[in-house]
Amino acid sequence: MSGGPPGAPPSRLEAAALLLLSESDCHLGIQGDSVIRKAFVMSVNAGSEAEYERRHSPIWPELEAVLKAHGVLNYSIYLLPATRQLFAHVEIENEARWVAIASTAVCKRWWQHMAELMPHNADGSPEAVDLKDVFSLQSLSSG
């Protein structure tokens, strides 16, 4: 995983991503192949960290309803304060339903609401980079 020489320790970003993926999976007790796990990195503008957190506490009820209606089972976002990176972990039922969230009116309004706080694309969506799943400890079924 490390971009450095073989045997080199992981970078802070890589270590944080591994921690995010492993801790989220362990405490949620994910089993089987019916859940699709995704993780990605975004960022928040300098000085906007507190406001970003405030706007998520809680998110709009109508956005929560859209996420649930589109098969989102769990969704967590973590902030690495030193770099202002946001590590997101989501568990979904179906990739197509996840992608469809972006075309909903409430999602587009949310993006507009958050655009001043974070780097975003021309369509208003936050700039995000998918993380590669490199490790997952899942409960083993007995029998």
List, by residue number, the catalytic residues: 56
Q: ∠99-105-111 over CA atoms, to 5°?
A: 75
- For residue 56, give both structure tokens: 């998520």
Other C-beta atoms within 10 Å of 72: how many? Answer: 17
Sheet holding 72-80, edge to edge: 72-80, 85-92, 36-43, 129-130
Q: For the CA atoms of the chain, what is the radius of gyration?
A: 16
* Count of CA atoms in the C-beta half-sphere (13 A) of 134: 13
- For residue 19, give both structure tokens: 């921690």
